[in-house]
Amino acid sequence: MKNRLTLLLSVIVLFLASSFFYGCGYNTMVTLEESVNSAWSQVENQYQRRSDLIPNLVKTVEGAAEFEKSTYMEVTELRSKVGQMKLSAEDLNDPEKFAEYQKAQDNLSSALSRLLVVVENYPQLKANENFLQLQSQLEGTENRISVERMKFNEAVQMYNTERRSFPMLILAGIFGFKEKQYFKGKEGSDQPPDVNFDFKKKN
């Protein structure tokens, strides 16, 4: 009789413990993971907005007399490369895939920055109303990308912190909640830029 009572109490304790971990911990992790996925969607939306603006930008500078073809061709090629890369929710757990995606997007950002610098040598473009509107929209989009990346990192930090805490660490392992990746600063972003205002004048 005593053994049966002990067994019954053990089952009840185990059930209550399981209910606690599943009801509280599991649901918390699901909520935090959905926050990460939602934040990622906003990042993707801004990247897509930038991608949609690039063809019109390239078309505008392409029409400028003597504008360096290699400059806008680089932007076009990098846009195409970025367009072929897609990250699923599961890929946010993969350091290599995430780093590759970020590098591609950062390379496109750098190419766009170089293009806008080169435009300084072309007064006709600087006075082109269509170009100025596109430039303003691109600059606004780059700012929104930075904001959404920051929000994404904040969501990932909350998720990863909760995942690593005890006893959530055990539950995360059981249910497959893996560590999410952060956006990181560009390589060399910790170094001051080499600013050179000695632009060569066109003949």
Q: Indicate which CATH number applies to the domain containing 51.
A: 1.20.1440.20
Q: Is residue 185 part of a domain?
A: no
Specify if 64 maps to a domain.
yes
Query: Is 7 a member of any domain?
Result: no
Which tops the pLDDT comparison, 188 or 102?
A: 102
Which is higher by pLDDT, 14 or 96? 96
Closest Cα to residue 119, out of 135, 107, 137, 99?
A: 135
Mean pLDDT for the stretch of residues 157-169: 91
Q: Could you tell me if residue 109 is inside a domain?
A: yes
Cβ-contact 180, 89 below 8 angstroms: no
The answer to whether residue 33 is domain-embedded is yes
Dist CA 182 CA 185 (whole Å): 10
Task: Look at 4-13, 25-34, 141-150 and tell me which has the smallest mean pLDDT.
Answer: 4-13
Q: What is the pLDDT of residue 203?
A: 37
Mean pLDDT of 129-143: 93
Q: Is residue 37, in this structure, part of any structural domain at all?
A: yes
pLDDT band at 1 (very low <50, low <70, confident <90, very high): low
Global pTM value: 0.79
Range of the domain at 68: 26-175
Q: What is the pLDDT of residue 173?
A: 86
pLDDT of residue 23: 56
Residue 2 lies inside a defined structural domain of this protein:
no
- pLDDT-derived band at 189 (thresholds 50, 70, 90) equals very low
74 close to 68: Cβ distance less than 8 angstroms: no
Average pLDDT, the chain: 83
pLDDT of 196 reads: 39
Name the burial class of residue 197, with classes exposed (0-12), middle (13-18) and buried (19+) by CB atoms within 10 angstroms of its CB: exposed
Decide if 139 is inside a domain: yes
How many separate domains does the chain show? 1
Q: State mean pLDDT over 38-63.
A: 94
Judge whether residue 22 has pLDDT over 80: no
Q: Is the pLDDT of residue 190 over 50?
A: no
